[in-house]
Structure 1
C-alpha cells in the first residue's frame, strides 16, 4: 500500500516495487554503504570496552559490494575473468564429482539434510579450489565462518553479536594471512597467487585488499548458493506438480532455477545511500539518507510478473533482481547458477521420491538474506 516508505525511526527509506528498486540499483547518484566505517562506529556502544571489532571492520572495508567506483571497478576487474561464464562452464565436471561424493556419504545416514549434506559442502569445496585452499584444510568450521560472517550484510545486527562476528573475522584473517604467506613463497595456478601478483607487480591492490578479497569471495560464494539450493528444493517439494515437470523434463532446469531465484530470493535486501538529492515515485530522497531495497518484494511485484505468487518452473518473462543489478550485480552469479542447476537436477534424477521429513522449518534469523538452517528429507524407496 506504500511502496516507497519513509521510516520515522532512523529516517531511512524502504522501496518495494520492482521498477523503483531496479532504478536505484542502476542509479549512479546513489552509493553503497561503507560497512567498515559503520562497524567502527558501533564499537563505542559495546558493553565490553576491553574488546574491539577492528578485525571485522578491516575485513569488510574492501568487500566489493561495499565499495564504490573507482576502487570497486579496480578490484572487480582483477577477479572478474575467474568468474566469467566461459571459466565457470569448465567447472561442471568438478561440481558433478563433488556432488556424487556428498550424496554417497549422505545416503549412508538414511535421512538427508539438504543443507548440511549437500548445499554447504559443494560450494565451499568449489570456492576453495578457485582460491587455492588445500583440500585437507576444508573443515566444518568453514561453514560456520560463512554462516556467521554473512550476517554483516544485515542492517539490523544486534550489538551483542558484533564481538562474535569479530572473533570469526579474526580467525578467517589469520587463516588467509598464513595461506597468502605460503603462496608468496610458492605461487600456484590459483586466485590467491593471481592477487599476490597483482599486488606486487602492478600495484593494483594492497595487502589488506588481498586479504579482504579472499574472505569476501570465500563467504559470498557459499552463502548465496546454499540459500538458492535450500530454498529451491523446498519450493519444489512444496509444489509437487512443478517438481514432477522438472523430473520429466530436466532440460528446463535453466528456467526452473531462475524461477527459484525469483520466487524465494536468497538475498532479500540491499542498501544504498543517496549521494545527492533525488526524486523517485513522487518522493524526494535527501542526500545522505539510507535507501533499503527489498529485492524479494520486487521479485513478487504484479506490475512486473504475472501471477507473482505462483511458482512456475516454465516462467518465461523473468527478469528478477535476485542477484541485484547495475555495477554491483553479483560477481559469483554464474557459479551460483551452475551449482544450483547441477545439484537440483541431480537430486531429482537420482532421488525421484524425496519427501519432506518435517513440515517444521527453521529459517535463519536475518533480514537481508533468506535461507534455512536445515532441510531434512526422506528418501522413499
Structure 2
C-alpha cells in the first residue's frame, strides 16, 4: 500500500512544481491508492486513464448520490439510474447543436463588448472577465430575471465554502448559503410559469418525468445544477486557455492567423489543464480496482486531471499539441454523467478566444497569476497587457 497524501497535498496547496509533475509521480506508483490507512470508511483515488474509464462507466458499483440522506441533491449530477436517465432526457435537448448556435448569437456580442472594455484599459485582469462572462451569458441562456451579479456572488461563495461548488462524499452542502439563492430562483420559476417561452427554465416547468410534472423544488435543483456546474467550469476553462495563449506567443500568433484551429486548441487546453480535476463517487458494493479492494461505503475520487496526463494513453502528455488525433479526454467526464453542458462550455471558450485574438495583435501577462489548483484548476487573477488591433 502506498500513500498519495503528500503528493496530493502539494497539488492542493500549490507546493508542487506543477500538477502534472505530481500526477506523474502518482501514476508511476500505481493506478489506485487509499488516501489514508485509518480503520473504517476508506477514501480512495483512482489515477490511471484505463481504471478511470472503467470506473466512470460502472454505475452499479459506484454511486453519484454522495450526500447524506436529507441533504438537497443537485440533479441530475447526484442521481443514479434509472432516475438519472429520466432527468438527462429532459435536459439534453436544450444543449442540442441548434440551441448552442442560437446561444452563440447572443453570447458573442457580450464577449466582444467585455473584451473591448478590457483592451481599452491597456492592462486589465482577465480572470474577472472569465467569471463575469460565464455567469452573465449563463443567465442570458436561462433568461434569468434577477441581476446576474447575484448568481455570480452566490456561486463564488459556494465554491469557496466547498472547494468546488458541490459536496464531497458523505459531506453536506453549506445549507445557510445554499438556500440564499432559492428566493431568486423561485421568482424566476414564477415568472416563467406566467410567461413561458422556449428557454431552458420553461422547458423544465413543462417537462415530465415518469408522467409527472416537476414540482418547484425539482426545477430549482436543475437550475442550481446549471449555475454551479456551468459558471466555474467554464470560467476555469477560459482562464486556463487564455493564460496559455498569453505565455505562448507562437501559439497565440498561429491561432490568430488560423482561427479555424481554435476548436482544436480548446480541446487540447481542456485535456492538459482540465478545469475539474476530480469527481466524487461512493462505492455501493465491493469493487476491485487496480489490484485493490474498495469496500462498500468507501469514498472514491476519479482523478480526471491525472487520466488526461497518463503517458500510457497520451504520447508526451505534458506537451500542448493541437494536432493530436484523439480528442477523447476526461475534462467533461465520461459515461452517463458526462457534463450535459459541455457543448455550451466549449462554445464559450471558443468565442472568447476568437474575439480576443481578433481584437488584438498581441497580449501578454502584466503581473503575477494567481491560480486555484485543487480540486478545480483555474485562474483567479491574471493581469494582461493588450495591444489593440
Q: Which category describes the TM-score, using the shorter chain as reference length?
A: 0.7 to 0.9
- Provide TM-score, normalisation by structure 1: 0.85
Deviation at 1:194, TM superposition (A): 1.9
SS at match of 2:165: helix
Which of these residues, 26, 45, 52, is aligned with residue 21 of structure 1? 52
Give the helix-richer structure, 1 or 2.
1
Pair 1:356–1:31, CA change in 2 (3 A):
same
> Which has the larger displacement, 234-243 or 251-260?
234-243
Alignment partner of 1:87 is 2:87: no
CA distance in 2, matches of 1:114, 1:244: 19
Q: Could you list the per-position Cα deviations for residues 326-345 of structure 1 after superposition, in whole angstroms to 9, with x for gaps in the alignment? A: 00000000000111111112
Conservation of the 8 A alpha-carbon contact between 2:370 and 2:380? yes
Unaligned 5+ segments in structure 1 are: 41-56
| Partner deviation per Cα, 1:101-159 (whole Å, 9 max, x = no partner) | 21232233332221213x2233223322232213xx33433222222234333639999
CA distance in 1, matches of 2:318, 2:167: 25
Separation of aligned partners in 2, 1:201 and 1:272: 26
1:285 aligns with 2:316: no
Contact 2:74 2:222 in 1 (8 A): yes
Report the Cα offset of residue 196 of structure 1: 1.8
Please give the residue correspondences for 1:321-340 in structure 2 after superposition, counting only pairs within 5 Å. 321-340=330-349
Pick closer, same or farther for the CA change 1:349–1:149 going to 2, 3 Å.
same
**Aligned with residue 2 of structure 1, among 4, 11, 30:** 30
Please say if residues 125 and 384 of structure 2, whose CA atoms lie closer than 8 Å, have aligned partners that are also in contact: yes
Structure 1 residues 254-333: aligned runs within 5 Å: 254-333=263-342
**Distance in 2 (alpha carbons) for counterparts of 1:269 and 1:191:** 28
Within 2, Cα distance between the matches of 1:4 and 1:36? 23
Compute the displacement of 1:236 (Å).
Answer: 2.1
* Cα deviation 1:68-103 (Å, max 9, x = unaligned): 112111112111100112321232222211111212
Moved over 4 A (4+): 156-159, 199-202
- Distance in 2 between the 1:343 and 1:235 partners? 14
2:223 and 2:280 map into 1 onto residues whose CA distance is 23
Deviation string 1:184-204 (CA, Å, 9 cap, x unpaired) is 233233222222222699414
Aligned counterpart, 2:188: 179
Contact 1:299 1:320 in 2 (8 A): yes
- Aligned: 1:207 with 2:216: yes
Using the size of structure 2 for normalisation, the TM-score is 0.84
CA–CA distance in structure 2, aligned partners of residues 378 and 35 of structure 1: 43
Question: Partner of 2:24 in structure 1?
Answer: none
Q: Who is 2:165 aligned against?
A: 152
Q: How does 1:1-381 map to 2 (within 5 A)?
A: 1-7=29-35, 8-9=37-38, 11-37=42-68, 57-58=71-72, 61-117=73-129, 119-134=130-145, 137-150=146-159, 151-153=164-166, 155=168, 165-198=174-207, 202-358=211-367, 360-364=368-372, 367-380=374-387
Root-mean-square deviation (CA), in Å?
2.4
- Any idea what SS the aligned residue of 1:108 has? helix
Unaligned runs of 5+ in 2: 1-28
Secondary structure of 2:134's aligned partner: helix
Q: SS at 2:207's partner residue?
A: helix
